Amino acid sequence: MSEYLWWGALLRLVQALLQAAPFILTGLVISGVFRRLLGYENTRRLFGEGTWRALPQAWAIGMLLPVCSLGVIPIVRELRKAGLSGGTILAFALSAPLFNPLSLLYGLTLSEPVVILSFALCSLVVITVVGLVWDRLFPNSAGERAESPPVPYGVKRLVSIGVHGARESVGGTALYVLVGVLGVASMSLYLPHGFLQFAMNSDNPWAPLTMTGVAIPAYATPMLAMSQLGSMFQHGNSIGAAFALLALGAGMNFGLAAWMFWNYGPTRALAWFAMLVLVVIALSYGVEKPLQTTTAGAADHTHAFDVYCQPFHGEENDLALMVWERIRRDLQVYELVGAGALAILMLVGLVLRFADPGGRTESWLERPPEEASPDTSDEAPKEPQVGRFDVVVPPAVLGLVSLLVIVAVSVACCFVYYPDQEEVFEELRIWHVEAIAAANDGDVEMAEHFIAVSDEWSRKLEVGTYLREWSLPDYHRTKGEVFRFKLELLRHAAEDGHEDEVDELRTEVSRAYRRLRRAYQDDPTSGN
């Protein structure tokens, strides 16, 4: 096999790990909260285990927590230990990676809100139908209920979450995550460069089925899946294929599938997987016509799925340098911070694994405060001493508060990820000029990159405006669509090598940017 295929697979693997790092870190923290703060009994109560509301409750909890299909793995491992039924666990595992406050807000700007809300409702239908049928076929799917030893109040509780996350980061979770990203890397070995550019058109009846085959081994963070949905809406691609991408591309990966096979056995795992795929395909074809956007003109191709194909054409010389440059160019600040924090946690986990294989650290954390020495006098026994910085809070309250804090931080991050107008326009001014310059120089790869960045910032502008003003005039939305349309034309002209069109579109893109900025600055509230 050609050398460039293996370098391409390595690039896709590293990119997936970097994208997943913040979500994996969040998943490790949440799993520690379930085990060390909330406790298994309260976790079962939180998910409504044994009641009719268990499945929709798992769906609702999953929709609030900011994790991806890899970050959900340490959480489902703890839910399994807590003794939840297989249907409830798998409902949570499928719903948690689909939406979170960041991706939901982003998705609402990509198309008509009814489309994204319909997708959310369809996801509830999927997990409810599959979960109910699966629990009916396999009623004894819950594992043996374990009880996590309590950790005394105080700083030990917080330390115990870190210790749990550190051990888990180099334990079973690490193996399943590796399987998950290997699925992404393998796709680039058998999907040639640009193979999926023409496969998802709305007039292609096989588009939902094709997307189903692609989405199963793929890995997409909630934000990446939403951006791909936005590209599909913009290009007038298949709505059914878009739903299949969200349900399976963001909701599943090979690592999660491997966990299911290991814990439930081949028969049960295959039954659940078959039901999931059949329901998703049925809903994909069911929503195709009712939700198809009528305003978007059908394009002949899209670049949204190039990230699943071989990244190199086979003409590059220094492949190692190309891999490094792409990683450096695409790396986001939050991915770098997440990867650094995860690396530190894994280092601590390795130290614990080799220096303390017997779990003496956990035994020390779980050791209750020493009681007062027995007193034979008539005096009442003394209460255990509370440390200076210790605050006595019931574990259930502390666990629920911790989960609410995680959700609140996720919401607060929306204001950081979607900054105010001035910051967005400053970034947009730089990136759209870079896109024009790259297209003018004939550097197609850099032009595509800067155009994609400019497109993303224009969407952040809309979400940030809506967050702060709770409205987005149609006039502003239209100016944004025109700007993105001109960028797309510039991309096509650069790809086709039409220098005259590139020269003409340079002016049109700059004019569209100026009109976009003027629309917001002249009257940022009404758009009149």
SS3 assignment, position 100: coil
Q: Give the pTM.
A: 0.83
**Residue 71 backbone phi and psi in degrees, to 5:** -70, -20
pLDDT of residue 380: 47
Q: Is the dihedral angle over the CA atoms 118, 129, 75, 254 positive or is it negative?
A: negative
pLDDT tens-digit map of 376-419: 445 544 444 455 555 666 766 777 777 788 778 777 777 877 88
Of the chain, the percentage scoring pLDDT greater than 70 comes to 88
- Separation between Cα atoms, residue 84 and residue 75, nearest integer Å: 12
pLDDT top residue among 470 and 465 = 465
At 194, the pLDDT band (50, 70, 90 cuts) reads: confident
Which of 334, 143, 349, 110 shows the shortest CA–CA distance to 235?
Answer: 110
* Percentage of residues in the chain having pLDDT higher than 90: 26
Q: What is the pLDDT of residue 526?
A: 47
d(CA 522, CA 436): 26
Kindly state the average pLDDT of the residues 264-293. Answer: 87
pLDDT at site 314: 63
Highest mean predicted confidence (pLDDT) among 98-102, 164-168, 287-291: 164-168
What integer pLDDT is reported at residue 382 of this predicted model?
A: 45
- Collapsing DSSP states into helix, strand and coil, what is residue 492? helix
Span 316-321, average pLDDT:
77
The residue among 223 and 27 whose pLDDT is bigger is 27
> Which of the given ranges, 86-90, 111-115, 201-205, has the highest pLDDT on average?
86-90
- The three-state secondary structure class of 358 is coil
The pLDDT tens digits of the residues spanning 432-465 come to: 999 999 998 888 888 888 998 898 889 889 888 8
Sequence ranges of the domains in the chain = 3-343, 418-522
Per-residue pLDDT at 318: 79
- 90-99, 286-295, 319-328: lowest mean pLDDT where? 286-295
pLDDT-based confidence at 370, cuts 50/70/90?
low
pLDDT above 60 (res 299): no
State whether the Cα torsion 162-167-172-178 is positive or negative. Answer: positive
> Please, which residues bridge with residue 237 across strands?
201
The string over 403-433, giving b where at least 16 C-beta atoms fall within 10 Å of a residue's C-beta and e elsewhere, is beebbeebeebbeebbbebeebbebbeebbb
CA gap 357, 205 in Å, rounded: 55
pLDDT at 346: 96
Please give the mean pLDDT across all residues of the chain: 83
Q: What six digits make up the tokens of 271?
A: 């039954």
> What local confidence, expressed as pLDDT, does residue 386 receive?
52
* Predicted local distance difference test score (pLDDT) of residue 278: 92
Name 201's bridge partners. Answer: 237
pLDDT of res. 8: 87
Question: Where residue 169 falls among pLDDT bands split at 50, 70, 90?
Answer: very high
pLDDT, tens only, 492-524 = 888 888 888 888 898 999 999 999 999 988 765
Give the pLDDT band of residue 528 (cuts 50, 70, 90): very low
Contact (CB, 8 A) for 143 and 81: yes
Tens-digit pLDDT profile for residues 146-158:
777 778 777 888 8
The class that CATH gives domain 418-522 is mainly alpha
Q: Residue 525: pLDDT band by 50, 70, 90 thresholds? A: low
Residue pLDDT, tens place only, 232-245: 777 777 888 888 88
Is pLDDT at 189 greater than 80 in this prediction? Answer: yes
42-68 mean pLDDT: 87
- Which of 98-102, 148-152, 219-223, 253-257 ranks highest by mean pLDDT? 253-257
Residue-wise pLDDT for 205-228, tens only, equals: 888 898 898 888 888 888 788 777
Degrees to nearest 5, angle at CA 29 with 23 and 33: 140
Residues ≥6 apart with Cβ < 8 Å to 43:
34, 78, 79, 82, 84, 399
Mean pLDDT over 171-176 rounds to: 93
pLDDT at 87 over 60: yes
* Rounded Cα gap, residues 399 and 412, in angstroms: 20
Confidence of residue 373 (pLDDT cuts 50, 70, 90): very low
